[in-house]
Structure 1
Amino acid sequence: MTKKKPTILVVNDDGITAPGIKVLIEEMQKIGHVVVVAPDSPQSGMGHAITIGRPLRLDRIDLYEGVEMYKCSGTPVDCVKLAVNKIFKGRKPDVCVSGINHGLNHSINVLYSGTMSAAVEGAIEGIPSIGFSLDNFDYDADFSHCRSYLVSITKQVLANGLPKGSLLNVNFPKDEAKGIKICRQAGGHYVEEFDERVDPRDRDYYWMTGRFELEDRGEDTDSYALSKGYVAIVPTQFDMTAHHVIPELNSWGFDS
């Protein structure tokens, strides 16, 4: 008896025409039936935003041969929600993969990332989900060294599943990887600066700039693994409860 091919939902935040999603689609076609729902324009840095103040558009397009594809006018999270409710009609794909993002989503970036938020939404829906990102912001970035890892990691998730409430955050180094490291998320933050300017109508406006500061020097983090040339896999969850703080708060005597 022929084994049924898995159904794979592919999403991203760089937009449906981004080179990164093309590579992801090509590799997922080696594994199963691919359905793509992606934003019709770049949505980087959208985090877990959803569209509630305007209607959403979802249009079927023929961009790559043999691939069921839809462009969405909303955010990456909107793409997942519409896919589950309107394309799969309540059925669940076997896996949701997001990316490949042009730029890393390590450390604190996971909170801002539309790529990872789409994968988080997949996990919320009960779908085993993975976010993929590459340490290269260039539009014409070289994704060739990511291809075999995309397939092997996705196959492992399909074979083994993921614990409820969890997903994988996978970041690739810019060049050929030495292998895979299972890591924790590094501690870091952005030091923002706002370049203040004046428009032709004499109104102030701002361009946000800044730099990432890594505070965590541990050798078991995603940032460290990437700096040494490894693919960093961080098991991630959307339960943001600080469980270790609960005993401390219980000692404060709120009842009194």
Structure 2
Amino acid sequence: MAKAKKKEKPVILVTNDDGITAPGIRALVDAVKDLGKVVVVAPDKPQSGMGHAITIGQPLRLHASTTFGDIEAYECTGTPVDCVKLAVDKILRRKPDICLSGINHGANHSINVIYSGTMSAALEAAIESIPSIGFSLLDYSIEADFAGAQQYAKILVEQILKKPLDKHLCLNVNIPAVSASLIKGLKVCRQAYAKYEEDFNERTDPRGRNYYWLTGEFVNFDKGRDTDVWALNNNYVSVVPVQFDLTHYGLKTKLEKIFK
């Protein structure tokens, strides 16, 4: 009687935008390393706020890294999106079963998803029909406590690997900066309508030339109890399904009636 084929472990691609040495990516790798074969491809330096940028004007370089011990890892000179593209094309030479980005140091809720390198890496994977999740902890500290984020990352990844919902699935997951025992659970949300009221602090350098430093305050205009901002303010992990199709379908219908 022929032996049953041993089921291959799922391949889990891990990346981030804070750089390969950030505590958040180590926390994510530790959280999911028992769920499959983990391969890390991450930027060699911080790339926060890069959005969906790609490198087109200079060469990209990849170097093997021992940052995670026996886990296969590479550092890349490019952006988070570059990391995903190179991982699929040159390292894995196949699509992984899931792509995870993070755990980001700082919030990526609401409008932050537009600017986030963390979420752009996840969205790039979704474009390539790879289910993906971006994780962010609302704590910028290098000494942040990732225990709660790790707990819920494992729950979500296990569920998606067990029962993939959609090949273009992309989840934006934010975790409140409280101890794991104070987190009330997961809440599936919509993205809040909020934005930064920005200001550029004008300064003068030693040579008398003006330069500008971006500052601003996050303002939430959305009082709904079904938003990511509300969930996080109330100690829930927010889970927002996002997509790369930016079509405004409601407005499309109205325009079709005007310009038919």
Matches within 5 A, 1:99-138: 99-138=102-141
Q: What is the root-mean-square deviation in Å for CA atoms of aligned residues? A: 1.1
Counterpart CA distance in 2 for 1:63 and 1:100 is 16
Q: Which residue of 2 is the match for residue 13 of structure 1?
A: 17
Quick check: 1:165–1:239 contact (8 Å CA) kept in 2? no
Counterpart CA distance in 1 for 2:61 and 2:165 is 32
Matches within 5 A, 1:53-202: 53-89=57-93, 91-175=94-178, 176=180, 177-202=183-208
| TM-score when normalising by structure 1 | 0.96
Q: AA paired with 1:100?
A: I
Counterpart CA distance in 1 for 2:189 and 2:225 is 9
Counterpart CA distance in 2 for 1:203 and 1:57 is 35
Counterpart CA distance in 1 for 2:135 and 2:127 is 18
- Percent of pairs identical after alignment? 57
Counterpart CA distance in 2 for 1:238 and 1:225 is 23
Deviation for aligned residue 1:163: 2.1
Single out whichever of 197-206 and 170-179 deviates more from structure 2: 197-206
Extract structure 1 runs of 4+ deviating beyond 6 A.
none
Deviation for aligned residue 1:252: 2.3
Q: AA paired with 2:164?
A: G
Which 5+ residue runs of structure 1 have no aligned equivalent? none
Q: Which residue of 2 is the match for residue 212 of structure 1?
A: 218
Counterpart CA distance in 1 for 2:150 and 2:114 is 25
Counterpart CA distance in 1 for 2:206 and 2:60 is 33
Matches within 5 A, 1:228-239: 228-239=234-245
Q: Report the number of matched residues.
A: 253
Q: Secondary structure at the match of 2:242?
A: strand
Quick check: 2:51–2:114 contact (8 Å CA) kept in 1? yes
Deviations 1:32-70 (A, max 9, x none): 111000000000000000011111111111112211010
Q: Secondary structure at the match of 1:52?
A: coil
Which 5+ residue runs of structure 2 have no aligned equivalent? none
Quick check: 1:169–1:235 contact (8 Å CA) kept in 2? yes
Match 1:251 to one of 240, 257, 260: 257
Q: AA paired with 1:30?
A: D
Counterpart CA distance in 1 for 2:238 and 2:132 is 16
Quick check: 1:166–1:238 contact (8 Å CA) kept in 2? no
Q: Secondary structure at the match of 1:26?
A: helix
Q: Secondary structure at the match of 1:237?
A: coil
| TM-score when normalising by structure 2 | 0.95
Q: Which residue of 2 is the match for residue 45 of structure 1?
A: 49
